[in-house]
Structure 1
Amino acid sequence: MTATTALPDAFCPTDGTRVPAGTLAWSCPVCRGPLDLDFSPTPARPASLTGRVNSLWRYAECLPLSAPAISLGEGRTPLVELAGPVSAKLDFLMPTLSFKDRGAVMLIALAQRLGPERVIADSSGNAGTSVAAYSARAGLPCTVYVPAGTSPKKLEQIGGHGARLEVVEGGRESAARAARAAADEPGTFYASHVHNPYFLQGTKTYVHELWEDLGGRLPDVLVVPVGNGTLLLGAALAVRELHAAGLIAKAPALYAVQSAAVAPLAEAWRAGADDLVGETPAADTFAEGIAIPRPPRARQILRAVRASGGAFLTVTEEQIAAAQLDLATRGLYVESTGVACWAAVRDGALGERTAVVPLCGAGAKTGLAKASVG
């Protein structure tokens, strides 16, 4: 297991602009779009993983940073059967109770290495909580911009980690704009889970874990909730790495799930478009964590789903509420955004194909969806 010491450069996937490693740049200096990392690792073979640390850092060859002192043991969440050919990965059993810890630990490990004066983030709750927790672990001052209407339990968790909260009137897009306005101030590290490619390098470990847990294979279908697409794009990265190394014979199809109330990517998919079409208004939905009207990585998300032979699925509020209750009766108390994938496939939408759904956040963060109606 070789520790990574030199940071790779970043680049803009839209116009190819290079961004040198070791800077606080968080977006393309030309188009201001998100960045990708110039990093093509080779995964370790299953036999060499025996005896390694029981966290996502066991996949060291595939990560652009060495294991940091700020790790909270994130990763290696259980995989359990749900029904028929569908299993669930319990990513709500992370240190801050959501899958966002996979990416946040990478962002703050990078920030710790770069030594900024402050960290800022924007979030509908879970990403901000993760960034706040790991910033506290690293001893870095942190400010999190959140939209008005964010779950009080998530606000309490963010504040409990010592971060300063900036509550922004309006929806998720308003919070992101406020954070971006502050992001270029000197000494600021913008821990953007959307723009910074290190976040995707963390979320890809979700698939590396599945591959190991399933004995060196992957299911026929990976079902993933999509708002900004960070879990889906991380999954696509891992699939490419495993396939290029000859460690899987066939890549799984990626099925992306959106709330029917806010589904700009599903609408673009149905239109056969390569990018977003028209304007999608913000709307209330139980799946608040994926209610993103204009995801900056839309083109990459659509391309990844199409290349995999997958598709987009949408779920109604009634389906979300029913799926959350169904999981609770199975012993799994998951927040309303985190049940979207189970809502999409629990009635047999995938046929007999094997599939894994992520249960992304703990129900303690939001309570039951039906209880919050009205």
Structure 2
Amino acid sequence: MSDSSLPTAAYFCPLDGSRAGITAPGWCCPVCKGPWDLDTGATRPVGLGSLSGRVNSLWRYEEALPLSGPAVSLGEGRTPLVPLTERVSAKLDFLMPTLSFKDRGAVMLAELARRLSPERVVADSSGNAGTAVAAYCARAGLPCTVYVPEGTSPKKTEQIRAHGARLVTVPGGREATASAARAAADTPGTFYASHVFNPFFLHGTKTYVYEIWEDLGGTLPDAIAVPVGNGTLLLGAALATSELLAHGLIDRRPALIAVQAEAVSPLAAAFRAGDDELSAAPAPARSTLAEGIAIPRPPRARQILAAVRESGGTFLTVTEDQIRSAQRDLAARGFFVETTGVACWAAVGAETDRSVVVPLCGAGLKTGLAPGAP
């Protein structure tokens, strides 16, 4: 491990309390095999008045981040917040360098990997996380292999290859892809840039909420809607709201509205049943236009369900026709967004009783216009 600027934070398991240093080779808890969380120790508040003149990227919130002084930044973050209706605003995260919000977390993983100097980086993705990791590894000069499921959008796989990453297409769905990547991640000298298992990713996605807080003058909306598959944006949002509340920078926690495609909605089913975790035998997943959130068994399911409940939020599901309609509606308003990225607008676009922010997570060029009309 080559870089002396490694963070002092440590990994810990939220289920059994196991701990490991940042330089430890294991990518998951050795006891329960679950995802790590990150113990950053005491954090400093981000002063709203101190932000003027800082770098115009997510790295401006340096007090809240586990890494500082990045060498791999592409200028990610600080995306516009634009009103869609009187009560609903959209955050345009499809304007990121690789055209999706995943850049927020990928830059953290690539920066950490750069400091650890592994022989190789491995990632798995349904598309957007893979393109982001590939781009930031290219920036860092790190060899990268990205595993994707068969059927991944050709436009996303082309983007992965364009950044110089090796692409491995795995027969089957998202779970088979993750299994293949994790087997490769166990090879010595490998850094597993997992947007699910590595908590540095969540500390990148939390900047989404810090930006909303800054743009709204030190407040947050009544609710924040996020599309949920593996839950990385939702858990980042929960992390940010907890930090802002703990530092007295907000006086209430906004409700988190988690949105899933009706065709693949294991978390919504568990939430409605009052369960703390997924059913041992969830309903079979069906095909959906929202490929980025088509995750049958998210490893952080327990954390996602708890975060939504603690915020006073809820789960909503959207049909394929609603996704098609929402994509066309946003395009008519000037925003061409990929099919996964329109799910929240499909779910809360008619909201009139409270202020809500929705993310437009990925550019429409990544998937094209959904076929058919509702």
Is the TM-score greater than 0.5? yes
Q: Deviations over 1:250-302 (max 9, x none)?
A: 11000100000000000001100000012232321010000000000000000
The equivalent of 1:64 in structure 2 is 66
Give the match's secondary structure for 2:305.
helix
> In 2, distance between residues paired with 1:362 and 1:223?
18
> Retained in 1: the 8 A contact 2:325–2:373?
no
Matches within 5 A, 1:78-93: 78-93=80-95
Deviates most, 274-283 or 73-82 = 274-283
2:292 equivalent to 1:289 = yes
Q: Note the residue ranges of structure 1 that are not aligned, 5 or more in a row.
A: none
Give the match's secondary structure for 1:356.
strand
Give the match's secondary structure for 2:94.
coil
Q: Partner amino acid for 1:370?
A: P
The equivalent of 1:242 in structure 2 is 244
Q: Deviations over 1:10-56 (max 9, x none)?
A: 10011110011222321101111000000242222111011000000
> In 2, distance between residues paired with 1:345 and 1:81?
13
Q: Deviations over 1:58-82 (max 9, x none)?
A: 0001000113111000000000000
> Retained in 1: the 8 A contact 2:143–2:165?
yes
Give the match's secondary structure for 1:312.
strand
The equivalent of 1:190 in structure 2 is 192
> Retained in 2: the 8 A contact 1:255–1:310?
yes
Matches within 5 A, 1:29-178: 29-39=30-40, 40-178=42-180
Give the match's secondary structure for 2:31.
coil
> Retained in 2: the 8 A contact 1:42–1:241?
no
Q: Note the residue ranges of structure 2 that are not aligned, 5 or more in a row.
A: none
The equivalent of 1:341 in structure 2 is 344
> In 1, distance between residues paired with 2:253 and 2:83?
21
> Retained in 2: the 8 A contact 1:11–1:36?
yes
The equivalent of 2:320 in structure 1 is 317
| TM-aligned CA deviation for residue 5 of structure 1 | 5.5
Q: Partner amino acid for 2:317?
A: T
Percent of aligned positions that are identical = 71
Matches within 5 A, 1:258-297: 258-277=260-279, 278-297=281-300
Give the match's secondary structure for 2:208.
helix
> In 2, distance between residues paired with 1:15 and 1:372?
49
> Retained in 2: the 8 A contact 1:43–1:61?
yes
Give the match's secondary structure for 1:369.
coil
Alpha-carbon RMSD across the aligned residues, in angstroms, is 1.2
| TM-aligned CA deviation for residue 346 of structure 1 | 1.3
Q: Partner amino acid for 1:284?
A: S
> In 2, distance between residues paired with 1:48 and 1:166?
45
| TM-aligned CA deviation for residue 352 of structure 1 | 1.6
The equivalent of 2:18 in structure 1 is 17
- TM-score, reference length from structure 1: 0.97
Give the match's secondary structure for 1:92.
helix
Q: Deviations over 1:125-150 (max 9, x none)?
A: 00000000000011100000000000
Deviates most, 205-214 or 36-45 = 36-45
Q: Deviations over 1:285-338 (max 9, x none)?
A: 010000000000000000000000000000000000000000000000000000
Q: Partner amino acid for 2:300?
A: R
> In 2, distance between residues paired with 1:313 and 1:6?
38
Q: Partner amino acid for 2:324?
A: A
Q: Partner amino acid for 1:343?
A: A
Matches within 5 A, 1:363-374: 363-370=364-371
